[in-house]
């Protein structure tokens, strides 16, 4: 028996072909074990190879060659068997794994489908129903689940390679026909067509407009209805369609962006690889409203002990009841490796004197936050990191009231804080690299996608949201309905349009921010130009009419009472808009979905370019990760900045100029950076960082 250690990408394929050939020719070899290196079987194809021509032997015939071998071949799976890695294992006659191994066919998350026979072999092994679940979701399964499903033959806590060697020796000489998956029928339920139709409508609904999940179902339909060879032809056709699609490129960009943002850097030169993070074991959360409770749970899930402080007795009593249940539910769902941290509840800020990090999550009111930070500065021991969950207020102003401004950063969570993956880590000019590194590391421990961003009103996500919402409101003034705007955005791929989203989060959230900014409220003149910019008072008037969204049963839509979830159009809103337009002499015009997307999305993208220009985000990947993980941007479109590259920067610039030139559609003045990139020939999004850094060096010279 010969062990062949393999590594990923072209050299893997060549190595396997050579090894199998040698094994076949060598009469002393009775059986073969294929294993990985350094405790990792194979993570699948090298995604970086997709951009260029594939070299080396193709995967499909290589796996067929293995399956056809007349000596038993076992895959010894440690670490991961994902994508092409699992497809390789499915071509083997047996599969043995370590109990900690993870398996899956995640191609759909990259805009692809299992293109090396996985869509045809897996359903023949575990049945159509189970294969539909794994392939259309791309989810990973543990070794235990894989054993239960029938993917694995044995699982061990000991050395999987040794067990595979012993096992495959024991079956040497036995017939292999029943082990060659491509020769087996595909086990299907009696109502196979209705199952496939049901799954097809589910995947279409789950990620609207995404191509890969639909193709996965089509490939599995082929597995269920065609002979293997024809099924493989169908898989090849579908893969060819997906491989060069914009969605595949967008999803592969999103895969790498999620990792790029972890390699953060600050304008000061501090970065992930030259800064030291402090490991936190005791933390505190101040303010136990919805966000504070979620943050307490997110921290405790990492094993950190948490002091949860709320000065309002009623709020504290409710949190003391609700939070443990939230923690128990979430801990059960995640099968934690370490037990959750202990949570203690208190109404006394003095009780945070021994913690290493505090996250303030009180009401979004600067005077209140300043009070809390002043108090914390006097209570906490020196060296304690003080973080704020503010969604856009000035971090540096908070830092200024403490003795150690270097230890103040923003940790902006997104509701629900224990579920949403995005975390904006906001550094002020005085934030130390240690504070940023510690917050980023803590975010990673919480399973978040942490993005380091600069301190400005709204930081990155909410700063871009502002012009996006403005344009949506302007479109209502000009003749659109909330349904039309939402439908255009949902057709683009957002799970919820902007007005449905406002109803969900509550119209009063934005109203409070605009009042805090002096844009509306008692004593502010109700004109359509405020602070020098066109302003739409529509949302304010909705709030003044008590229409706050789902919480009041009425907002841009109507619901079955307060807390209702099902949005229905409301004639009251149509009359409200008609009356408003008449009052202001506005004549409604018909507005196309294309204009809605241009006005909303290009306004958002343009602000993204301004953010890059201001160095508030280090690169387009940071902005795209923020929008994919925090704002529902469809992942199969990569993110706003990636999308801009796909539309064409010249086109974006031309449309912004077109709309900006219209006297009644201001604020779409193209960003200088956008203009510079177009003038430089519109480099691909992966090159923008270089361009920005080079520009910055020139501008400082």
Ligand X SMILES: C[C@H](O)[C@H](C)C(=O)SCCNC(=O)CCNC(=O)[C@H](O)C(C)(C)COP(=O)([O-])OP(=O)([O-])OC[C@H]1O[C@@H](n2cnc3c(N)ncnc32)[C@H](O)[C@@H]1OP(=O)([O-])[O-]
Interacting residues with ligand X (CB under 6 A): 43-48, 59, 80, 82-84, 87, 106-107, 110, 112, 114-116, 118, 256, 259
C-beta of 85: minimal distance to ligand X in Å?
7
Nearest to ligand X of 360, 621 (CB atom): 621
Helix (H/G/I), strand (E/B), else coil: 312: coil
Please report how close the Cβ of residue 645 comes to ligand X at its closest, in angstroms. Answer: 20
Q: Which CB, 59 or 327, lies closer to ligand X?
A: 59
Helix orientation angle between 461-478 and 482-492, rounded to the nearest 10 degrees: 130
Q: Which residue, 124 or 530, is less far from ligand X as judged by CB?
A: 124
CB of 87 to ligand X, least distance (A): 6
Q: How far is the CB of 113 from ligand X (least distance, A)?
A: 7
CA torsion through residues 410, 415, 417, 421, sign: negative
Coil/strand/helix, residue 23? helix
Torsion over CA: 223, 225, 228, 232 (sign): negative
Q: Which is nearer to ligand X, 116 or 446 (CB)?
A: 116
**Cα separation of 575 and 580, whole Å?**
8
Vertex 258: Cα angle to 252 and 263 (nearest 5): 125
Q: Give the number of residues written for the chain.
A: 701
- Do residues 274 and 659 touch, judged by C-beta distance below 8 A? no
Question: Given 67, 87, 477, 598, which residue is catalytic?
Answer: 87
Query: Closest Cα to residue 441, out of 278, 297, 306?
Result: 278
117/630 with CB nearer ligand X:
117
By C-beta, is 36 or 84 nearer to ligand X?
Answer: 84
Active-site residue 330, yes or no?
no
Token look-up 């003795």 returns: 403
Question: Pick from 261, 257, 253, 260: which is nearest to 110 by CA?
Answer: 253
CB 295 within 8 A of CB 359: yes
* Annotated catalytic residue within 67, 78, 107, 478: 107
Least gap, CB of 216 to ligand X (angstroms): 11
Least CB distance to ligand X at residue 59 (A): 5
CB-based burial of residue 617 (10 Å sphere; 0-12 exposed, 13-18 middle, 19+ buried)? Answer: buried
Q: Please state, in angstroms and as integers, the Cα–Cα distance from residue 667 to each residue in 392, 597, 659, following that order.
A: 20, 16, 9
* Of residues 58 and 546, the one with the C-beta less far from ligand X: 58
Token reading at 670 = 């193209």
Q: Closest-CB residue for ligand X?
A: 83
Q: Which two tokens stand for residue 561?
A: 């009472």
How is residue 294 written in tokens? 């979620």
165 SS3 class:
helix
- Taking the complex as a whole, the smallest distance from the CB of residue 42 to ligand X amounts, in Å, to 9
- Residues in Cβ contact with 347 at an 8 Å cutoff, skipping those fewer than 6 apart: 309, 310, 311, 313, 316
Q: How far is the CB of 63 from ligand X (least distance, A)?
A: 10
| Catalytic (active site) residue 107 | yes
> In the complex with ligand X, which residue's Cβ is closer, 20 or 195?
20
Positions marked catalytic:
87, 107
């Amino acid at each position: 028996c010969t062990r062949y250690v393999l590594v990923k990408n072209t050299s893997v394929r060549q190595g396997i072909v050579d090894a199998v050939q040698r094994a076949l020719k060598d009469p002393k070899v009775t059986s073969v074990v294929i294993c990985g290196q350094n405790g990792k079987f194979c993570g699948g194809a090298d995604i970086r190879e997709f951009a260029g021509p594939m070299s080396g032997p193709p995967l499909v015939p290589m796996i067929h060659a293995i399956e056809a071998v007349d000596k038993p071949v076992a895959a010894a799976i440690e670490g991961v068997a994902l994508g092409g890695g699992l497809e390789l294992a499915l071509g083997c006659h047996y599969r043995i794994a370590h109990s900690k191994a993870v398996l899956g066919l995640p191609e759909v998350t990259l805009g692809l489908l299992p293109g090396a026979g996985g869509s045809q072999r897996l359903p023949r092994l575990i049945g159509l129903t189970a294969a539909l679940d794994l392939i259309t979701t791309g989810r990973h399964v543990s070794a235990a689940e894989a054993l239960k499903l029938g993917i694995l033959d044995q699982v061990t806590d000991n050395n999987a390679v040794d067990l595979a060697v012993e096992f495959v020796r024991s079956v040497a000489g036995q017939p292999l026909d029943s082990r060659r998956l491509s020769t087996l029928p595909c086990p299907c339920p009696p109502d196979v067509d209705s199952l496939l139709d049901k799954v097809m409508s589910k995947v279409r609904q789950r990620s609207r407009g995404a191509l890969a999940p639909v193709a996965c179902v089509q490939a599995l339909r082929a597995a269920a209805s065609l002979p293997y060879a024809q099924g493989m032809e169908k898989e090849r056709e579908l893969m060819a369609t997906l491989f060069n699609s914009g969605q595949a490129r967008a999803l592969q960009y999103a895969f790498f962006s999620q990792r790029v943002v972890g390699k953060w850097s600050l304008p000061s030169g501090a970065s992930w690889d030259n800064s030291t993070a402090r490991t936190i074991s005791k933390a505190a959360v101040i303010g136990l409203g919805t966000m504070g409770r979620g943050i307490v749970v997110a921290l405790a899930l990492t094993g950190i002990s948490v002091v949860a402080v709320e000065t309002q007795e009623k709020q504290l009593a409710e949190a003391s009841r609700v939070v443990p249940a939230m923690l128990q539910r979430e801990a059960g769902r995640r099968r934690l490796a370490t037990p959750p941290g202990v949570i203690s509840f208190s109404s006394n800020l003095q009780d945070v004197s021994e913690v290493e990090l505090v996250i303030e999550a009180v009401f979004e009111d600067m005077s209140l936050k300043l009070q809390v930070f002043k108090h914390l500065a006097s209570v906490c021991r020196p060296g304690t990191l003080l973080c704020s969950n503010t969604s856009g207020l000035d971090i540096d102003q908070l830092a200024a009231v403490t003795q150690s401004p270097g230890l103040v950063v923003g940790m902006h969570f997104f509701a629900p804080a224990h579920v949403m993956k995005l975390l904006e880590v906001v550094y002020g000019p005085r934030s130390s690299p240690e504070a940023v590194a510690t917050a980023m590391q803590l975010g990673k421990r919480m399973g978040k996608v942490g993005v380091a961003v600069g301190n400005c009103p709204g930081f990155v996500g909410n700063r871009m949201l502002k012009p996006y919402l403005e344009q949506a409101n302007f479109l209502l003034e000009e003749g659109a309905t909330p349904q039309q705007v939402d439908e255009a955005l949902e057709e683009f791929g957002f799970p919820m349009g902007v007005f449905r989203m406002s109803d969900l989060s509550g119209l009063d959230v934005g109203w409070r921010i605009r009042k805090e900014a002096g844009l509306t409220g008692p004593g502010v003149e109700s004109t359509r130009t405020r602070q020098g910019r066109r302003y739409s008072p529509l949302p304010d008037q909705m709030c003044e009419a008590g229409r706050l969204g789902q919480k009041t049963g009425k907002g841009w839509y109507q619901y079955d009472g307060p807390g209702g979830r099902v949005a229905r159009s409301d004639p009251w809103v149509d009359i409200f808009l008609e009356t408003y337009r008449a009052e202001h002499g506005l004549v409604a015009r018909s507005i196309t979905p294309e204009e809605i997307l241009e006005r909303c999305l290009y306004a958002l993208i343009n602000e993204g370019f301004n953010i890059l220009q201001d160095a508030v985000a280090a690169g387009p990947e940071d902005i795209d990760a923020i929008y994919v993980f925090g704002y529902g941007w469809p992942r199969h479109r990569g993110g706003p900045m990636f999308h801009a590259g796909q539309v064409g920067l010249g086109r974006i610039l031309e449309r912004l100029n077109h709309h900006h030139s219209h006297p009644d559609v201001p604020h779409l003045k193209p960003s200088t950076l956008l203009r510079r990139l177009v003038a430089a020939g519109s480099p691909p999004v992966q090159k923008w960082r270089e361009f920005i850094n080079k520009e910055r060096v020139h501008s400082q010279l």
